[in-house]
Structure 1
Amino acid sequence: MTATDPWHRALADLVSLSHRLPPDQLPVAINTVLRPLGATATTYLVDAEQRDLRPLPEPGRPTPDPLPIDSSLAGRAFTQVEVHAGQGPPPRLWVPVVNGTDRLGLLEVFPPAGADLADEAVRDGCRLVSGLVGHLVSSKSAYGDLLHRTRRSRPMGLSAELLWQLLPPLTVATPEVTVSALLEPCYEVGGDAFDYAVDGGTVTLAVLDGVGHGLPAVLTTSVALAALRAARRAGADLSGLVRAVDAAIAAQWRDARFVTAVLAEFDTRTGLLRYVNAGHPPPVLLRRGRAVQALDGGRRLPLGLPDERADVAEMRLEPGDRLLLHTDGVTEARDPAGEMFGLPRLADLAERHIGSGLPAPETLRRLSHAVVAHQAGPHLDDATLLLVEWSATAAASTEP
């Protein structure tokens, strides 16, 4: 693709327009730069519950209906992170929109009349534009409400509104490793949270569950999350992170509040995993597609409760290993008859989805929906999942 290629020109024009672009004008800008090519596009964003792709409204154009992820060609393009062609009428290309490897939605591109949907130049051009759209969706979301509103099927509760602003993107990948997470329910969360950082070959992980429900639990978890990040960014080791969260919670409350957690560091150069488990369900190790071990070392009381133990468990992972972290809202979710979802069911489903070669975010989407389907009613607790894949092949599958 040369500097004079029309798709390259469209990309440059979108960059130029983006500097003073309000969030609600993003669909207009996309079609402005595509117009010289004779192409148009509709932008879809995935909803908070990861069930539908919801269109961004554009002034002067009718807004189409949301598209179901599990029963549409568009949904297949989203879940497989691949360009798919729809013969129409009219013919179109479904092009994944990601920020890095965090799945945000799709572009529905109607190429110029007579264009060959199999032409790699056309597909590469669409990928270029959609790649920039992914970055713009992420960056422009901080400046207005339309992008947030589009991704919601109903109003968000106060505690959920607070928590979602604190969480990192759902997925990150490097050439060696992928980290992906999901949190349910989306609109009325309690005290669950997750965090990660990828720096210099070290992946730092955290899954947290604050005691209680609603806003009080979220406030406790928020303090723990802030203390964790402040200590980590100051260079603290795992034991230092534990002490920092203990001190932060104790300094704010005197009513025995606490947060259960798994804190971990994984060195992608050596395979060394170090972790602390503060009263939390143990992570599950999957090796060669099978759940082989629950990591039950590094035990101490929940964070915020006095405990002088600072034991850090260690183990050596193998290339291709996966680590599944979760909160008790996953395994303790009950169906109408009272049967828990359970760790064996979680491990079995994880094995099946991983064995089918799904990207990590799609594996978690299906696991999370299985928990929701099992419960068949209102959530009694948050259900958070975090999956780490130490595999170059798996990491590559998250990229369009």
Structure 2
Amino acid sequence: MSDGPTSVGVSLRAAPPDRLPEVTAEHLRTRYAAEGVEVLLGDLSLSALRPLLDPDGPAGGPLEQRCFGSQQPQIDPRPDGPTRLILPLTVWGDRLGVLRIETGTPPSRTAIEEMHAIAGELAMALRTADRDTDRYHHARRKQRLTMAAELQWDLLPGRSLSGERFRLAGALEPAYAVYGDHYDWALTGDRITATVLNGSGDGLEATLLTAVAVNAMRNARRSGANIVEQAELASDAIYSRNGGNAHVATLLLEIDLISGAVEAVDAGSPRAMIARNGDIRQVTLEQQLPLGMFGDTRYEIQKVQLEPADRLLVVSDGVHAAAPGGGPDFGSAALLTALRSTRLQPPSEAVGTVLRSLRDYHAGTDAEDDAVIVCLDWLRQAA
């Protein structure tokens, strides 16, 4: 058996779920004479990279952040110490963190390629192990989550996803005390279904309302239902539970990755925009009733057409309607400025840039609502 990526994959699959970093570190020390190894995971707000092997050690610095943002290996051949190699930990475009390896001499190109593959094996194992250990959840937290936030994070599909024809990312804030806003997506064949939700109310009740909506739509989607049927099943489930006293504003989208055709059900306040050739325009849709407002509500599909290299953006009302101190809302001008500044960034970076701009717009005051942004780049041709 090979000593490279294949054997470490076998070792990871045989290891207890909470010991994956140690198994990887031992392999790197044995095979590549690594003098130091650290696994750093992105925290919930993706503002810091937190160490796993030495939890009391320093967070990731500029080199680690550069690797995490660019998704490219970083090499630091220091003359006064070991060479540092930083590798991204990524699964299907979902950025988990970075792997830092220190060696006495600069590694060869072949060794770098092998260690890059090992980082990929570790990333896949870490994502799988999340269901069976709390170690990695604990490492990603700067502070304790509210119960509502705990439920919301468990509902999320991930924070980014990519394929030959698309790049997709989502962000949710505030990370440690979210309420009813949410996003969801699923890739099946050449189609992506994506939803952004604004749940009404506060705290745990808002989260439970969103959980009913998300799981009802997933139940319909996983049974082969289209987005109209997904919306109607979710609306009926919410109405049955709340009798019209609570509702969920939702935008459901199904994107054909071959043709760029988008089918939409606009059931509330999330707002969609398209960035094209340096211009950003709002997608005009006929707004239908929020989910759960009335019994037996029926919905209709509306159609939008993407062009190659288009960027589709969806924001919740916690973004576009945010108006700290009673001033003008963020969506009136500041949102467009923030979106234009992300033109050269991949979606995984763009969503964070917009939410940082929103935080700056609040100028130190607490946000009155949580905020969601989803960003999809349609590449059309294989990358």
Normalised-by-shorter TM-score class: over 0.9
Q: Distance in 1 between matches of 2:368 and 2:346?
A: 29
Tell me by how many angstroms 1:146 deviates: 1.1
The separation in 1 between residues aligned to 2:324 and 2:271, in whole angstroms, is 23
Q: Does 1:99 align with 2:91?
A: yes
Matched, 1:188 2:177: yes
* Residues 298 and 312, structure 1, Cα contact 8 Å, conserved in 2: no
The percentage of aligned residue pairs carrying the same residue is 29
- For 1:41, the equivalent position in structure 2 comes to 37
- 1:78-227 equivalences under 5 Å are 78-88=68-78, 89-111=81-103, 113-116=104-107, 119-227=108-216
State the TM-score, normalizing by the size of structure 1.
0.89
Partners of 2:171 and 2:352 in 1: CA distance: 7
Give 1:306-345 correspondences, 5 Å limit.
306=294, 308=297, 310-335=299-324, 338-345=327-334
Distance 2:163 2:11 in 1: 30
Distance in structure 1 (CA, Å) of the matches to 2:214 and 2:17: 29
Equivalent residue, structure 1, for 2:368: 380
CA-to-aligned-CA distance 1:199-221 (integer Å, 9 cap, x gap): 12111110011101111011011
Aligned to 2:349: 362
Runs of at least 5 residues in structure 2 that lack an aligned partner in the other structure = none
Aligned residues: CA RMSD: 1.9
8 Å contact from structure 1 (residues 298, 311) kept in 2: no
Question: Quick one: distance in 2 between partners of 1:386 and 1:259?
Answer: 17
Alpha-carbon offset, residue 298 of structure 1: 3.7
Distance 1:26 1:129 in 2: 12
Cα offset, 1:334, TM superposition: 3.6
Q: How many residues align?
A: 377
Q: What displacement does 1:381 show? A: 0.6
**1:285 maps to amino acid:** I
CA offset digits 1:87-124 (Å, max 9, x no partner): 3432201111111210111111113x2234xx421221
Most deviating of 244-253 and 22-31: 22-31
Aligned to 1:48, what secondary structure does the other structure show?
coil
Matches within 5 A, 1:273-284: 273-284=262-273
Matched residue of 1:300: which SS?
coil
Contact 2:9–2:122 (CA<8 Å) still a contact in 1? no
Q: Is the 8 A contact 1:282 1:296 kept in 2?
A: no
- Report the AA paired with residue 91 of structure 1: T
Q: 26, 35, 52: which is aligned to 2:20?
A: 26
1:264 corresponds in structure 2 to 253
Provide the rounded CA distance (Å) in 2 between the counterparts of 1:310 and 1:332. Answer: 25
SS of the equivalent of 2:330 reads coil
1:75 pairs with 2:71: no
- For each residue in 1:232-274, what CA deviation from the matched residue of structure 2 results, as whole angstroms up to 9, or x when unmatched? 1112122211211111101111252100010011111222111
Counterpart secondary structure, 2:11: helix
Secondary structure at the aligned position of 1:122 is classed as helix
The structural deviation recorded for 1:339 is 4.3
Per-residue deviation at 1:308? 4.6
Change (3 A) 1:230 1:298: farther
Cα drift, residue 362 of structure 1: 0.7
Q: CA deviation at 1:177?
A: 1.1
- Residue 353 of structure 1 aligns to a residue whose secondary structure is coil
Distance 1:13 1:316 in 2: 46
The letter for the 2-side match of 1:378 is D
Establish whether residue 57 from structure 1 lines up as the match of residue 47 from structure 2.
no
CA positional deviation for 1:63: 4.0
Q: CA deviation at 1:277?
A: 0.9
| Mapped contact 2:261–2:303 kept (Cα < 8 A) | yes
Deviations 1:328-387 (A, max 9, x none): 111233445744322432222222212x2x221011111112212222232311100001
> Within the alignment, does 1:13 sit opposite 2:1 as a pair?
no
Aligned-residue offset at 1:315: 2.0
Q: Secondary structure at the match of 1:186?
A: coil
Matching residue's letter, 1:13: S
Q: Secondary structure at the match of 2:224?
A: coil
Query: Does the 8 Å CA contact 1:192/1:383 hold for their aligned counterparts?
Result: yes
Shift of 1:170: 1.0
1:53 shift after superposition: 0.5
The correspondence of residues 232-243 of structure 1 with structure 2, limited to 5 A, is: 232-243=221-232
Distance 1:53 1:153 in 2: 11
Maintained 8 Å contact 1:22/1:143: no
What do residues 23-55 of structure 1 show as CA deviations (whole Å, max 9, x unaligned)? Answer: 432221111111222014210000101111100
**TM-score, normalisation: structure 2:** 0.93
